[in-house]
């Protein structure tokens, strides 16, 4: 019988045999016959009990799969033939971090595009098992999670004496003795050793193209979340006001909105995109949060702003962050960002799908009443601009609801003057034209 998509011959057991088994497990399953040449001639191998055990341990240890092994005698000698069979795995299988597939009678390494599509069909990135073990976990990060989760009473089964391994297993962050990707990015000592892209970069940019501050934050998500917030604050202005006899910090942007944007970028990013970091760029007039990863299939930007079901890209990561209290309610982060900005008197956030990812823009109030008056705006125009801080866009019909006794012609002229001053942008034809803050 010739080699095929489900059959391979190897003269001896080694790394190429492991590659073939890995490929079979990722494709349709299959069998390697050890001790046979490419053309099917039986040569046999020496197979002591120790050698048999060593082969079995290599397959289980390096691939995490349990094969069926049959031993066949070679006539007229003490040599043996091994038939090692594996079925198709429900989870993607790797050999030393590389994934293989079976194409015809050959074993091939998956290209990055193939790998991404392969994973998306079968499982989420965060549930994939890696080659790390419990020794790669930062116990203090796990302790912090337990403390946070118990404080808000979303978790009651863990306490300070619960072994870390038991906690990870309960959270479905371990498979056998191996960690999932979620375990490593949530609680790992140094996740970047395995996932160089799993970092957060915060950049302060002056006058659009002059970088005056640049932080690259590594470590696990728990650390990145806290350090990311502090890095952003470092590049923002703060002043103080007295409320109820207490001094209150007032930042350029409300801290709750910043926290939601940072959390959104870290938790929902597409970790398959290995060459892109999560990025935050702070300009004079806005902050841009970018994570590599579009909206879930079928979800639109408009639906995102409404009450919507949670469709997490990384469900294990999202679940742990929810239990910790960092995520308050699944699917509600966008609304909380909008509410926070409105309460601070700032324009609502702008959400975009761009650069093969998802962006959030938080903007300063460039159009305070004092500045608008200095620009020569009349009272109607200032009221229109103020109303637009709570809406992403407005139409001529919307302005008529604001002013009962003003003619449509006058309001249209007001809008056009705001466009000519560069305060508004207009989109569409006159009848269905919309206006947005520039």
What are the domain boundaries of the chain?
7-123, 124-365, 369-437
Between 28-32, 371-375, 419-423, the lowest mean confidence (pLDDT) is in 371-375
Name the nearest CA neighbour of 231 among 189, 279, 196.
Answer: 279
Q: Residue 340's pLDDT is what?
A: 93
What is the second-level CATH architecture of the domain 369-437?
Orthogonal Bundle (1.10)
The dihedral through the CA atoms of 116, 171, 326, 190 has a sign that is: negative
66 alpha carbon, distance to own chain's centre: 31
Per-residue pLDDT band for 331 (boundaries 50, 70, 90) equals low
| Mean pLDDT calculated for residue range 257-264 | 95
Pairwise CA distance, residues 173 & 95, whole Å: 20
**Is 187's pLDDT higher than 90?**
yes
Answer whether residue 229 shows pLDDT above 90: yes
- Please report which confidence band the pLDDT of residue 308 belongs to, taking 50, 70 and 90 as the band edges: low
CATH class entry, domain 124-365: alpha beta
The pLDDT, as a whole number, for residue 121 is 60
Structure pTM? 0.65
Where residue 122 falls among pLDDT bands split at 50, 70, 90? low
In whole angstroms, give the CA distance from residue 26 to residue 378.
Answer: 68
Give the fold, CATH level 3, of 7-123: 3.30.950
Q: Residue 238 has what pLDDT?
A: 86
Per the rule left: phi > 0, alpha: psi between -120 and 50, beta: everything else, 44 is: left
**Average pLDDT along the chain:** 88
Question: Phi and psi dihedrals of 94, rounded to 5?
Answer: -125, 155
Q: Residue 65: its pLDDT value, please?
A: 83
**Do the Cβ atoms of 137 and 124 come closer than 8 Å?**
no
What's the whole-number mean pLDDT along residues 403-415? Answer: 91
Q: What is the pLDDT of residue 356?
A: 86
Supply the pLDDT for residue 176. Answer: 83
> Where is pLDDT greater, at 114 or 325?
325
For 347-388, write each residue's pLDDT tens digit.
889 999 998 899 999 998 777 787 888 889 999 999 998 888
C-beta contacts of 321-325 below 8 A and 24+ residues apart: 321/221, 321/263, 321/267, 322/154, 323/145, 323/149, 323/154, 323/155, 323/171, 324/145, 324/148, 324/149, 324/154, 324/222, 325/148, 325/149, 325/151, 325/152, 325/154
pLDDT in tens, 160-176: 789 999 999 999 999 88
Task: Classify strands 350-354 and 357-363 as parallel, antiparallel or unpaired.
Answer: antiparallel
320/294: higher pLDDT: 320
């Amino acid at each position: 019988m010739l080699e095929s998509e489900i059959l391979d011959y190897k003269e001896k057991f080694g790394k190429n045999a492991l590659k073939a088994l890995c490929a079979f497990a990722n494709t349709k399953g299959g069998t390697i016959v050890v001790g046979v040449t490419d053309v099917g001639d039986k040569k046999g191998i020496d197979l002591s009990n120790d050698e048999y055990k060593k082969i079995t341990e290599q397959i289980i240890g390096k691939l995490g799969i349990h094969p069926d092994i049959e031993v066949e005698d070679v006539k007229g000698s003490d040599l043996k033939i091994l038939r090692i069979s594996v079925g198709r795995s429900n989870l993607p299988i790797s050999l030393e971090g590389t994934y293989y597939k079976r194409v015809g009678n050959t074993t091939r390494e998956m290209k990055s595009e193939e790998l991404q599509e392969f994973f998306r069909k079968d499982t989420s990135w965060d549930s994939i098992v890696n080659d790390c073990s419990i020794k790669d976990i930062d116990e203090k990060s796990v302790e912090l999670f337990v403390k946070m989760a118990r404080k808000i009473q979303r978790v009651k089964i863990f306490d300070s004496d619960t072994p870390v391994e038991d906690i990870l297993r309960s959270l479905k962050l371990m498979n056998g003795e191996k960690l999932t990707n979620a375990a490593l990015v949530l609680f790992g000592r140094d996740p970047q050793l395995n996932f160089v892209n799993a970092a957060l970069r915060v950049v302060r940019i002056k006058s659009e193209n002059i970088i005056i501050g640049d932080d690259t934050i590594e470590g696990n998500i728990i650390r990145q979340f806290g350090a990311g917030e502090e890095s952003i604050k470092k590049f923002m202005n703060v002043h103080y006001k007295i409320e109820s006899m207490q001094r209150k910090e007032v930042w350029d942007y409300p801290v709750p909105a910043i926290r939601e944007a940072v959390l959104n970028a870290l938790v929902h990013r597409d970790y398959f995109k290995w060459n892109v970091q999560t990025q935050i760029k702070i300009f004079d007039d806005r902050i841009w949060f970018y994570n590599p990863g579009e909206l879930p299939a079928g979800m639109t930007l408009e639906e995102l702003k409404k009450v919507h079901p949670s469709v997490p890209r990384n469900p294990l990561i999202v679940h742990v962050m929810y239990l910790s209290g960092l995520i308050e309610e699944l699917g509600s982060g966008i609304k909380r960002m909008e509410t926070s900005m409105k309460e601070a008197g700032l324009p609502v956030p702008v959400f975009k799908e761009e650069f093969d990812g998802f962006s959030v823009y938080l903007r300063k109030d460039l159009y305070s009443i004092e500045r608008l008056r200095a620009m020569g705006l009349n009272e109607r125009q200032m009221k229109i601009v103020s109303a637009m801080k709570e809406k992403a866009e407005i139409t001529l019909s919307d302005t008529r609801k604001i002013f009962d006794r003003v003619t449509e012609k006058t309001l249209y002229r007001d809008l056009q003057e705001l466009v000519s001053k560069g305060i508004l942008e207009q989109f569409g034809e006159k009848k269905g034209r919309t206006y947005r803050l520039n």
